Chains A and B, each alone.
Chain A
Amino acid sequence: MIADVLRATGEHVVIVVIAVGIAIILGIPLGIWCARRARAGRFALRIVDTIQTIPSLALFGFLIPVPLIGGIGMRTAIVALILYSLLPIVRNTLTGIRGVDPIVLDAGVAMGLTDRQLLREVELPLAMPTIVAGIRIATVIAIGVATIAAAIGGGGLGTLIFRGVSMVDTRMILAGALPAAALALIADVVLSFVERRIA
């Protein structure tokens, strides 16, 4: 039993880390792009918003028949989690960059910083606490949603929960649910700490 829980927890962590990692790699540039181009940015944000409204179980279901990224298993679970993690990261990147004091930006431009230097040296560092807050929210959500990934064979702690539900075994359900809750709490505390440190 303990071995099962540890293995499932390990899988869970792997799924979430890969999904949130890829969401960061995609989401931050997308957020920057949204901040730069107001109209296209609103459109992109609308799409990311819409994905968030799809119930998670349905999203997993929708992805199964999709070629390359779909099917049964961990890969599909990761793709769904990436899609879910995008919104907080994209939105917070956008909000963080928009929130930079226009006088500071003005001063930066006036000193002869190029667009790229302005982004790297002024906008991103000042937006970073907000971006990390987005990553924190995305991670906590992903840890919760990942339990549902077991429904499409994604592995992780959800496997124990689904097994417990079908066998009406409360101990089995808790064996999946408690580590998932603990993971979410740990992620929240650690990333809150990072957020405060860079603020």
Chain B
Amino acid sequence: MPSSVQFRSVSVEPILHDINLRIAAGEAVAFVGRSGAGKTTTLRLVNGLARPTSGEVAIDDVPLGSADLIQLRRRTGYIIQGSGLFPHRTVYENVATVPRLLGWPDPQTRAAAEELLAKLDLPLSRFGDRYPRSLSGGEQQRVGIARAMIAKPAVLLCDEPFGALDPIVRRDLQDAFRALRSGVTILFVTHDLAEALRITERIVLFDGGRVVADSPAAEFTSQPLPLVQKFVAAASLPA
């Protein structure tokens, strides 16, 4: 079941100032903005990797301050640039991490891994026993996606997951990701506007630690704000 996420006057001094956002259950939202605009910090507030200096973050209206962070993180997927796979664990062991922490029985984990990895074009029979260092960057990131999604998280946090990949692999992964994304609330950090438009239905623009624009993806490019137009120009989108 997807969860809703609320930011209530959240500040993380000196990076973020008075963020107010309400993200509905099942919504897919992109955080765009320049480097250092505060998008990653905002994302990391949701699984408690960053702590607010004032205000509060809530998931399904339960403030994080009163939540069990360890349990929350096990229900929250996290995909990062460079994948962060455990180099000493096989593909299967990496994917099985959260199910193991949640105490799933082995057959259930194996079945879920098999299904998910097949959808990501990494058949378990061929890739399960391999180590991350023997995979290409794109394959590693697919494993990262599988690892984050196997336990059916309520919220999926993505921090420029496709940032380091070449454009063709990047496009493939965006498509694979889109095919998997139902039933989860997605917060997706990127500075690629074209990617944001492909993957999400709402775009939040950050600048200087504040939200400066927040609109449905379809209407985002027509916003008159100069920074929006800069992003549109930089993305060289078809008019």
Chain A contact residues, CB within 8 Å of chain B: 101, 103-104, 106-114, 117, 121-122, 125-126
Contact = CB atoms under 8 A, between A and B. Distances in A.
A138 to B, nearest CB: 24
B64 to A, nearest CB: 14
Contacts of A112: 70-74, 98, 101
B139 to A, nearest CB: 16
B123 interface: no
A106 B84 contact: yes
B149 to A, nearest CB: 12
Contact of A126 (B49, B80, B88): B88
Q: Is the interface of B mostly helix, strand, loop or mixed?
A: mixed
Contacts of B87: 101, 104, 126
A107 B88 contact: no
A174 to B, nearest CB: 45
24 contacts: A103-B80, A103-B81, A103-B82, A103-B84, A104-B85, A106-B49, A107-B84, A107-B85, A107-B144, A108-B86, A109-B49, A109-B73, A110-B47, A110-B76, A110-B80, A110-B157, A111-B74, A111-B78, A111-B147, A112-B71, A112-B72, A112-B98, A114-B70, A125-B88
B79 to A, nearest CB: 9
B97 interface: yes
B49 A110 contact: yes
A111 B49 contact: no
Contacts of B49: 106, 109-110
B80 A111 contact: no
Nearest to B70: A112
A110 B49 CA distance: 7
A113 B86 contact: no
Interface in B86-139: 86-88, 97-98, 101
Contacts of B72: 112
Contacts of A103: 80-84
Given A106-B49, A113-B101, 8 more contacts: A104-B85, A107-B78, A107-B80, A110-B49, A110-B78, A111-B78, A111-B101, A111-B147
Specify which of A108, A110, A117, A122 lies most central, judged by the most chain B CB atoms within 10 Å of its CB: A110
Contacts of A108: 84, 86
Contact of A111 (B81, B82, B98): B98
A94 B83 CA distance: 25
Contacts of A101: 84, 87
Specify which of A112, A113, A117 lies most central, judged by the most chain B CB atoms within 10 Å of its CB: A112
Contacts of B78: 107, 110-111
Contacts of B82: 103
Contacts of A121: 86
Contacts of A122: 86
A109 B50 CA distance: 12
A15 B83 CA distance: 47
What 5 A-B pairs have minimum CB-CB distances, sorted nearest first?
A: A107-B84, A112-B73, A112-B74, A110-B78, A103-B84
Contact of B80 (A106, A113, A117, A125): A106
Nearest to B147: A111
Contacts of A109: 49, 73
A113 B78 CA distance: 13
Contacts of A113: 101
A62 B84 CA distance: 50
A19 B76 CA distance: 47
B97 A111 contact: yes
Contacts of A117: 101
B159 to A, nearest CB: 9
Contacts of B83: 103, 107
A125 B78 CA distance: 22
A110 B86 contact: no
Nearest to A100: B87
Contacts of B97: 111
